Amino acid sequence: MEEKFKIVYSQGLQARPATKLVSKANSFQAEMYMEYNDRKVNLKSIMGVLSLGVPANSKVKISVSGSDEDDAFKAISRIITEINEMV
């Protein structure tokens, strides 16, 4: 499964939102990746996600595959929605 998401949070994917995302990703068995600007990193790696330097109003592609991919994908989608609603 894969889908593009827009990160609208004014700070982009800096430490706090990235930690929420990586923490949720690590609660599943599925393999998860994030792509931005032709770079692909493991979504379960905080250093990987931060290394992308995703700014506000950018699109990222999330890929999820594995035995629990449906639940994992829904959970990651919810976290991105929460990040975009952060003040």
Q: What does the domain layout of the chain look like in residue ranges?
A: 2-84
DSSP 83: H
Residue 32: the pLDDT is 98
CA–CA distance, 53 with 44 (Å, rounded to integer):
16
Q: pLDDT (tens digit, 0 to 9) for every residue of the chain, 87 residues total?
A: 999 999 999 999 999 999 999 999 999 999 999 999 999 999 999 999 999 999 999 999 999 999 999 999 999 999 999 999 997
Residue 40: the pLDDT is 98
Residue 7: the pLDDT is 97
Residue 10: the pLDDT is 95
Q: Which CATH class is domain 2-84?
A: alpha beta
pTM: 0.94
- Both tokens of 79, joined, read 């976290």
CA–CA distance, 25 with 37 (Å, rounded to integer):
21
Q: How would you classify residue 66: left for phi > 0, otherwise alpha for psi between -120 and 50, otherwise beta?
A: left
